[in-house]
């Protein structure tokens, strides 16, 4: 222990150092009227070092965790986590970390479930779970309240159907899109199946007209207004264009005098997702006004064009008994893992399965 009198103020203070892992930290606190008060305060301070989370609030723990994670995740992910943690800060931020119970966390999640989709609430849960795991690992808490949280989907909720267009529906739509650049973008999304951020990040240098390929190596993030690395390692890919799409790209390029590193969909800065979504919805609404009720197209989000692309490929895996390509080929083209494609689009595979059986029956005699 080290306690001294401050000659300038005639007050007592304590000071010293302590170890945190391999790091030495200094401490000092001033302003005590009596030497005994400074000694007692230092004893209490040293006791608190043995239990670092005893006076820590959830807000403080989140701050520590965010400082740790900032250098380990993408900038866009970090900013998204800031938004998600606001829910936990508002609900439990001022509560002592070691006083937070499973019920506290469960109550917040139940409130979120009453207003949000399960998938969104699950993301909020993963965020607080990550903080509590970090706190437990670094001994700020000895019991993790998240370990007993019961977060399950309501079995009575009807699962929303995945929205998509058939090729026939897409053709009806695209024939009525007058804008050259959006005609190209929507066609790209249906036949290439890229994520919208990947498409908006495309530069002319990413297109190889000699081999008719597109290289995906980045994604555009609207929130931070810059390109970042793709979603996953599998997202890095080179995919082939059908000739009609390559020709449409060439036609647009021939009318432009822009450098190779300019963005295709926006030149200096890509279009915002809101602008693209508005264009899609306005085009669908305009077309539907001219169609009879039974002919109207369902309204899609931009991401649903990716689903449409997956549906189009899955339904053409096998034609007339001929196997054209595999689920692995589709996953590679979409930039997903095979198990992801099988999980998300499982309900579309039965038709391909029937085609395979028809192929087996048709060719049975040739195998005997």
Q: 253-275 pLDDT, tens per residue?
A: 999 999 999 999 998 999 999 99
Give percent of the chain above pLDDT 90.
Answer: 71
Task: Please give the Cα distance from 276 to 195 (Å, whole number).
Answer: 13
Tell me what the mean pLDDT of segment 72-85 comes to.
92
pLDDT at 358: 66
pLDDT at 154: 67
Contacts of 18 (CB under 8 A, 6+ apart): 24, 25, 27, 46, 49
User: Are the C-beta atoms of 108 and 91 separated by less than 8 Å?
Assistant: yes
pLDDT at 86: 97
Q: What is the mean pLDDT of the chain?
A: 89
pLDDT at 342: 85
Least confidently predicted of 31-45, 147-161, 182-196, 214-228 = 147-161
Query: Model confidence at 157, in pLDDT bands (50, 70, 90)?
Result: low
In angstroms, the Cα distances linking 148 to 61, 98, 209, 213, 335 are: 20, 15, 56, 50, 35
Q: What phi and psi values does residue 239 have, to the nearest 5 degrees?
A: -125, 145
Q: Which residue has the higher pLDDT, 302 or 317?
A: 302
The residue count for the chain? 368
Tell me what the mean pLDDT of segment 291-297 comes to.
92
Angle at CA 236, nearest 5°, toward 235 and 238?
A: 110
Least confidently predicted of 63-67, 136-140, 160-164, 242-246 = 160-164
Q: Is the pLDDT of residue 368 over 70?
A: no
Tell me what the mean pLDDT of segment 102-106 comes to.
96
User: Are the C-beta atoms of 46 and 27 separated by less than 8 Å?
Assistant: no
Q: Is the pLDDT of residue 234 over 70?
A: yes
Tell me what the mean pLDDT of segment 65-76 comes to.
91
Q: Is the pLDDT of residue 44 over 60?
A: yes
pLDDT at 13: 94
Tell me what the mean pLDDT of segment 147-156 comes to.
80
């Amino acid at each position: 222990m080290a306690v001294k009198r401050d000659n300038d103020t005639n007050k007592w203070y304590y000071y010293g150092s302590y170890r945190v892992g391999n790091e030495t930290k200094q401490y000092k606190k001033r302003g005590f009227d009596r030497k005994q008060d400074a000694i007692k305060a230092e004893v209490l301070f040293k006791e608190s070092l043995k239990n670092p989370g005893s006076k820590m609030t959830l807000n403080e723990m989140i701050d520590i965790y965010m400082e740790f994670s900032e250098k380990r995740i993408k900038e866009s992910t970090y900013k998204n986590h800031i938004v998600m943690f606001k829910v936990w800060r508002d609900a439990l931020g001022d509560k002592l970390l070691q006083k937070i119970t499973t019920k506290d966390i469960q109550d917040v999640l139940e409130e979120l479930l009453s207003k949000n989709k399960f998938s969104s609430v699950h993301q909020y849960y993963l965020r607080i779970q990550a903080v509590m795991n970090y706190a437990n690992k670094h001994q700020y808490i000895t019991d993790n309240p998240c370990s007993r949280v019961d977060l399950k989907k309501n079995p009575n909720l009807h699962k929303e159907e995945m929205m998509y267009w058939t090729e026939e529906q897409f053709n009806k739509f695209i024939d009525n899109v007058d804008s050259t650049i959006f005609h190209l973008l929507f066609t790209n999304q249906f036949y290439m199946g890229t994520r919208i951020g990947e498409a908006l990040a495309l530069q002319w240098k990413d297109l190889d007209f000699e081999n008719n390929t597109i290289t995906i190596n980045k994604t555009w993030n609207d929130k931070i207004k810059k390109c970042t690395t793709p979603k996953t390692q599998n997202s890095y890919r080179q995919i082939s264009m059908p000739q009609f799409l390559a020709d449409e790209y060439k036609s647009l390029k021939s009318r432009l005098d822009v450098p190779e590193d300019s963005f295709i969909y926006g030149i200096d800065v890509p279009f915002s997702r809101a602008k693209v979504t508005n264009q899609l919805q306005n085009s669908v609404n305009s077309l539907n006004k001219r169609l009879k009720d039974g002919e109207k197209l369902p309204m899609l989000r931009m991401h649903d064009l990716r689903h449409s692309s997956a549906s189009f490929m899955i339904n053409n895996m096998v034609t007339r008994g001929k196997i054209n390509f595999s689920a692995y080929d589709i996953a590679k083209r979409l930039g997903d893992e095979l198990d992801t494609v099988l999980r998300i689009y499982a309900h579309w595979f039965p038709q391909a399965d029937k085609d395979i059986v028809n192929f087996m029956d048709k060719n049975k005699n040739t195998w005997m």
